C-alpha cells in the first residue's frame, strides 16, 4: 500500500457560521459506511468521543441551546479515510480540518481590532496562517442565518457577502500554481433549512436564487470566470444542514431554536467532502505514477546491473590470464636468478594458481550478491507496480462512484455548479 498523503482542507467561516457543528455532523455522517458513501472517516479515539459529544449536544432536545462559539484555537482535526471494494481495503489519504474562532479571519478590522504587533505575536494566528497558506483544498462556509438577514434587507449586511468572499478569494488566488491551476474550491451554505423555500419579497428562496446572488458579487464573479477553463474542477454551491427540521428560525425572537419532536435529518453534509474527493484522488493517482518511476529506484537497478556485468568480466579475465600470468611470473623469477629448480617452479605455479582461484571465488561471490540484490529490487518494483495497479483500479472505481454521487446531487440541485455559467 502507498503511504497515505495528508490533505489539508481549509474551511473559511466567520464566527457563528457553523464550522464546529458542520465538522461534528460531517464526521457523524462519514464515520459509518452508507450505500451512497463508500468512504469512511476515522480519527483517534479521544477525538472521536469529543466530536460525538459535540454532535449529541447539537441534536439533544433537552439541551435548550446550540453549542457556544469556539474559543481561540487553531488545532487541526486529523482523519484517516478508508474504503473497501473488491480490490481490498485502502487508506488513500488522511484529511485535516482546521477548526477555529471565526474572528481570527479578520483580527485587525473585525471586532477584535488587534494591532499589527498583536497579530505578529499571536501564536494561534500564526498557526492559522501557516495552515491556510499550505492548504490543498478550500471550502468557504456562508452562514445561512446571515444570508437570510441580508436577503431580508439588514442594512449592516449590505456589502457583507462581497467583502467576505473577496477576502477569502485573495488567499486562494495566492495558491495558483505555475500552470495557472487553482486549488479545489466549493461554497457551502450552512443552516440551509432556515433559507430553503422561505418566501422573501414574494419569492421563495431556492439554490438558484443564492447562486444568482453570488455570481452578482463582483470579485467572486471575476474569480469564477478565471476558473471557467478548468472544466474538470468545477466550483460548486452546496446547501447543507446538519440538523434538518430539528432547528428552525423563530420569527418572534429572531433566534435559531431547537424544535423538540421534529426529526434530525441531515442534508448534503457529505457533499462538500465528496466534491473535493475526485480532485484529490485524481491528483493522488498522478502522484502514484510519479512514485512508480522513482529516479532513485531506476538508478539503483542500473548500478546493480553494471556491477554484476563488471564482476562477470573480471571473473572471465581471471581465467584468461591464468596461463599467461604463470609463464610471466616464471620468466621473472628466472631473470632474477631465483627459483631455477623444478620444485621452485612448481611451487610458484601452485601459488599463482591458488591466488587466481581465490580472486575468481571473490569475483563470483560479489557478482552473486549483486545479482541477488538486483533480483530483490526488481521483485520489490514488480510488487509495488502490482499494488499500485490494484490501488489505481480501486481509486478509479471510487472516483467513478463519487462522480455518480455528485451527478445525483446536481440532478437534485440544478445550478449548483457555479462555473457552468450564470444560472438562468
For the chain, the distance separating the N- and C-terminal CA atoms, rounded to the nearest angstrom, is 46
| Cβ 32 vs Cβ 270: under 8 Å | no
Q: Which position among 7, 12, 20, 175 is part of the footprint of another protein (CB under 8 A)?
A: 20
Length of the chain: 424
Residues 6+ apart with CB under 8 A from 312: 363, 367
The torsion angles phi and psi of 300, rounded to 5 degrees, stand at -60, -45
- Does 254 engage in binding with another protein (CB under 8 A)? yes
- Does 251 engage in binding with another protein (CB under 8 A)? no
| Cα 319 to chain centroid, rounded | 59
**d(Cα 305, Cα 147) in Å, to the nearest integer?**
67
Comparing CB distances to another protein, the nearer of 111 and 177 is 111
Question: Which H or E run includes 304?
Answer: helix 295-320
| Cβ 236 vs Cβ 275: under 8 Å | yes
Q: Which position among 65, 173, 379, 380 is part of the footprint of another protein (CB under 8 A)?
A: 65
Q: Which position among 4, 6, 50, 305 is part of the footprint of another protein (CB under 8 A)?
A: 50
Query: Judged by CB under 8 A, which stretch of 13-21, 179-187, 215-223, 385-393 contacts another protein?
Result: 13-21
Closest Cα to residue 235, out of 139, 168, 133?
A: 139
Q: CA of 361: how far to CAs of 105, 312, 355, in Å? A: 72, 11, 10
Site pattern 302..331 for another protein (x: CB under 8 A): ------------------------------
Q: Which position among 4, 67, 244, 360 is part of the footprint of another protein (CB under 8 A)?
A: 67
Q: Which position among 109, 159, 255, 383 is part of the footprint of another protein (CB under 8 A)?
A: 255
Q: Which position among 5, 6, 96, 124 is part of the footprint of another protein (CB under 8 A)?
A: 124
Query: Judged by CB under 8 A, which stretch of 31-39, 51-59, 164-172, 276-284 contacts another protein?
Result: 51-59
Comparing CB distances to another protein, the nearer of 50 and 303 is 50
Minimum distance from residue 136 beta carbon to another protein (Å): 26
- Does 54 engage in binding with another protein (CB under 8 A)? yes
Long-range contacts, 46-51 (Cβ 8 Å, 24+):
47/77, 47/78, 51/23, 51/24, 51/27, 51/77
Query: Judged by CB under 8 A, which stretch of 44-52, 275-283, 384-392, 413-421 contacts another protein?
Result: 44-52
Residues of this chain that interact with another protein (CB under 8 A) are 15-18, 20, 49-51, 53-54, 57, 65-73, 101, 103-104, 111-113, 115, 117-118, 120-124, 143, 145-146, 254-256
Amino acid at each position: 500500500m502507498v503511504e497515505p498523503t495528508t490533505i489539508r482542507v481549509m474551511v473559511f467561516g466567520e464566527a457563528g457560521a457553523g464550522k464546529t457543528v458542520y465538522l461534528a455532523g460531517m464526521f457523524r455522517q462519514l464515520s459509518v459506511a452508507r450505500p451512497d458513501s463508500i468512504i469512511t472517516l476515522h480519527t483517534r479515539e479521544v477525538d472521536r468521543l469529543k466530536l460525538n459529544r459535540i454532535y449529541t449536544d447539537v441534536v439533544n432536545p433537552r439541551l435548550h441551546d446550540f453549542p457556544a462559539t469556539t474559543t481561540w484555537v487553531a488545532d487541526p482535526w486529523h482523519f484517516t479515510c478508508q474504503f473497501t471494494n473488491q480490490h481490498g481495503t485502502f487508506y488513500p489519504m488522511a484529511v485535516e480540518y482546521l477548526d477555529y474562532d471565526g474572528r481570527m479571519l479578520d483580527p485587525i478590522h473585525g471586532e477584535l481590532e488587534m494591532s499589527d504587533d498583536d497579530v505578529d505575536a499571536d501564536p494561534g494566528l500564526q498557526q492559522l496562517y501557516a495552515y491556510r497558506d499550505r492548504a490543498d483544498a478550500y471550502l468557504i462556509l456562508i452562514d445561512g442565518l446571515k444570508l437570510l438577514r441580508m436577503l431580508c434587507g439588514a442594512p449592516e449586511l449590505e456589502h457583507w457577502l462581497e467583502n467576505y468572499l473577496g477576502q477569502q478569494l485573495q488567499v486562494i488566488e495566492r495558491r495558483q500554481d505555475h500552470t495557472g491551476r487553482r486549488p479545489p474550491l466549493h461554497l457551502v451554505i450552512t443552516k440551509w433549512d432556515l433559507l430553503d423555500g422561505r418566501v422573501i419579497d414574494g419569492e421563495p428562496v431556492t439554490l438558484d436564487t443564492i447562486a444568482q446572488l453570488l455570481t452578482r458579487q463582483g470579485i467572486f464573479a471575476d474569480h469564477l470566470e478565471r476558473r471557467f477553463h478548468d472544466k474538470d474542477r468545477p466550483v460548486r454551491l452546496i446547501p447543507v444542514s446538519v440538523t434538518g427540521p430539528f432547528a428552525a428560525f423563530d420569527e418572534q425572537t429572531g433566534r435559531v431554536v431547537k424544535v423538540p419532536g421534529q426529526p434530525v435529518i441531515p442534508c448534503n453534509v457529505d457533499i462538500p467532502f465528496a466534491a473535493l474527493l475526485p480532485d484529490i484522488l485524481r491528483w493522488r493517482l498522478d502522484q502514484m505514477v510519479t512514485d512508480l518511476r522513482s529516479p532513485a529506484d531506476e538508478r539503483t537497478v542500473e548500478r546493480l546491473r553494471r556491477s554484476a556485468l563488471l564482476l562477470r568480466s573480471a571473473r572471465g579475465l581471471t581465467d584468461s590470464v591464468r596461463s599467461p600470468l604463470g609463464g610471466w611470473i616464471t620468466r621473472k623469477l628466472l631473470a632474477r636468478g631465483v627459483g631455477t629448480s623444478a620444485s621452485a617452479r612448481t611451487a610458484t605455479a601452485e601459488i599463482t594458481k591458488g591466488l587466481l582461484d581465490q580472486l575468481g571465488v571473490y569475483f563470483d561471490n560479489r557478482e552473486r550478491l549483486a545479482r541477488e540484490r538486483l533480483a530483490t529490487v526488481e521483485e520489490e518494483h514488480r510488487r509495488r507496480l502490482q499494488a499500485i495497479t490494484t490501488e489505481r483500479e480501486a481509486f478509479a472505481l471510487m472516483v467513478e462512484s463519487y462522480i455518480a454521487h455528485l451527478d445525483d446531487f446536481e440532478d437534485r440541485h440544478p445550478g449548483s455548479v457555479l462555473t457552468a455559467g450564470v444560472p438562468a
